């Protein structure tokens, strides 16, 4: 399923980040359960699975075009002496359409900089992928009231200067670091405030036509019980879900909650 390249139509996107979890033998049972649990849902939402790189092809086959698939990270070069890395063309060749760029775990554990995120984003676009640029402040930055400054800096440094058609393929995930895997979710009002700041920045960086269409997902301890309230906010266009996406029934419940919020 190729991502919609039309910049003016904003869409609802539910994304599952499996991080470094699951084995090949989990893929079949996961999607059998997920399909059963989502059989009654409409087809209005875009669903994307981000499995570890060795599972990409198996997940592409298992979803059979009913959902999209993405890599969790890519290198900025197409190939070369970068032991342990995976390039954007390799991810595309596995049948994926998306890639996460700048997840906070990559920034924290592997020292990824905004400039490297910008290079990865461009490599992803050149390979025909839709990059999901992850931005978000740490707890210390929020406690100092610096959340907007930090997120705007991450966004402008990585995503300035793209061509208009490239902005049509970009997605943003606002993931406050203090909310990832902690059980502490941003309140819907706090999420909306940050998403509005991100959209205003996109307006400057990408132009008004692109800015209205770029989906901005919220990530950070999204669960079935808090999805609808988050997605009811004007600028929250979907969710990037980590822990709760590992259980197919929990992720299906999040998809169902998102569907009811997007209908309401
Ligand atoms: C994530 O990994 O992007 C994430 C948001 O994780 P969690 O849902 O577990 O907080």
Q: Tens of pLDDT along 127-161?
A: 999 999 999 999 999 999 999 999 999 999 999 99
Buried/exposed 182-212: b ≥16 CB within 10 Å, e otherwise? eeebbebebbbbbbebbbebbeebbeeebbe
Model confidence, pTM: 0.95
Q: Say if ligand 1 is within 6 A of residue 222 CB.
A: yes
Q: Please count the other Cβ atoms lying within 10 Å of the Cβ belonging to residue 115.
A: 11
Q: Are 131 and 125 in contact (CB under 8 A)?
A: yes
Please identify, by atom number, the ligand 1 atom nearest to the C-alpha of residue 182. 10
Taking only the tens place, the pLDDT of each residue in 20-74 is 999 999 999 999 999 999 998 877 899 999 999 999 999 999 999 999 999 999 9
Taking only the tens place, the pLDDT of each residue in 102-120 is 999 999 999 999 999 999 9
Q: Which of 175, 195, 233, 259 is catalytic?
A: 175
Three-state SS for 227?
helix
CA atoms within 13 A on the CB side of 40: 5
Q: Say if ligand 1 is within 6 A of residue 180 CB.
A: yes
Please identify, by atom number, the ligand 1 atom nearest to the C-alpha of residue 245. 8
Q: Say if ligand 1 is within 6 A of residue 241 CB.
A: yes
Catalytic residue list contains 103: yes
With cut-offs at 50, 70 and 90, classify the pLDDT of residue 9. low
CA distances from 203 to 85, 118, 192, 212 (A): 33, 18, 16, 8
């Amino acid at each position: 399923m190729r991502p919609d390249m039309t910049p003016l139509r904003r869409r609802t996107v539910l994304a599952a980040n499996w991080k470094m979890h699951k084995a090949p033998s989990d893929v079949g049972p996961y999607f059998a359960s997920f399909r059963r649990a989502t059989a009654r849902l409409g087809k209005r939402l875009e669903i994307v699975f981000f499995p570890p790189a060795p599972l990409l092809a198996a997940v592409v086959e298992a979803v059979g075009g009913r959902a999209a698939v993405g890599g969790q990270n890519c290198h900025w070069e197409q190939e070369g002496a970068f032991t342990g890395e995976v390039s954007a063309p390799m991810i595309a060749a596995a049948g994926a359409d998306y890639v996460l760029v700048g997840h906070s775990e990559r920034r924290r554990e592997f020292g990824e900089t905004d400039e490297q995120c910008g290079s990865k984003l461009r490599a992803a676009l050149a390979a025909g992928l839709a990059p999901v640029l992850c931005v978000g402040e740490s707890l210390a930055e929020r406690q100092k009231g610096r959340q907007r400054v930090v997120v705007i800096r991450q966004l402008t440094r990585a995503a300035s200067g793209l061509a208009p058609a490239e902005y049509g393929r970009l997605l943003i995930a606002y993931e406050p670091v203090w909310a990832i895997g902690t059980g502490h979710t941003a309140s819907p009002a706090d999420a909306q405030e940050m998403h509005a700041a991100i959209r205003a920045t996109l307006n400057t960086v990408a132009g008004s036509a692109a800015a209205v269409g770029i989906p901005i997902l919220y990530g950070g301890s999204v669960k079935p019980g808090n999805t609808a309230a988050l997605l009811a906010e004007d600028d929250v266009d979907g969710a990037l879900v980590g822990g709760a996406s590992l259980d197919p029934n929990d992720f299906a419940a999040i998809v169902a909650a998102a569907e009811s919020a997007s209908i309401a």
